[in-house]
Amino acid sequence: MRPRVLPITVLTTFAFFFCSDAVASVRQDQDAAAIDNFIARQARRERGEEYREARKVVVGDLTHDGVPETVVLYTIEGQGGTNLHIQYLAVFSRQRGKLSAVTHADVGGKSVRSVELRSVEHNAILLETMGYGPKDAQCCPSVKRMTRYVLSGRKLHEQKEGASQGRRHS
């Protein structure tokens, strides 16, 4: 009895899909490690730690070049043993196949505003915010707004369409 031989096209197709999935998986792991390392370094500098469950990542073109950037909203808390928390927005671009930090900005946190990352659309980062009204307690901002951040060079700039400002932008 002769062994059955699969046509070359079937084997090639199988190998392509298997390798594509493996490459995508490796890239995702490398991307996650680059983001983890960036945030961990910042947390150490601030003597705090990331509230990992609050991290959100979206991908979209911010530089008008057709190549997507990776945008991460993350929170560092407990700076120096306090009950402070600060929300940051970071932008990463792909350099020689690997994610590299472009910039980050402080966009919210305790007593400033609460921020949720929604998407990247029309070359801008869209955020939903909860700001403080005149009678709001520190725990409970109640003023819902939307804001946008754009990347200009290596800096994030908030477009001030009625949105409250974050602390500082780097």
pLDDT of residue 26: 78
Please identify every stretch of the chain with a pLDDT value under 50, giving residue numbers as ranges.
Answer: 10-18, 163-170
pLDDT of residue 167: 46
Provide the CA 27 distance to its chain's centre, in angstroms: 16
Here the tokens at position 154 are 């290596």
**3 located within any domain:** no
**167 located within any domain:** no
**168 located within any domain:** no
Whole-structure pTM value: 0.80
pLDDT of residue 164: 46
Structural contact between residues 74 and 54, judged by C-beta atoms closer than 8 angstroms = yes
Structural contact between residues 146 and 129, judged by C-beta atoms closer than 8 angstroms = yes
How many folded domains does the chain comprise? 1
CA distance 136 to 129: 15
Q: Which domain holds residue 32?
A: 8-159
| Sheet containing 155-159, strands listed edge to edge, beginning at the edge strand earlier in sequence | 114-121, 124-131, 143-152, 155-159
**42 located within any domain:** yes
**169 located within any domain:** no
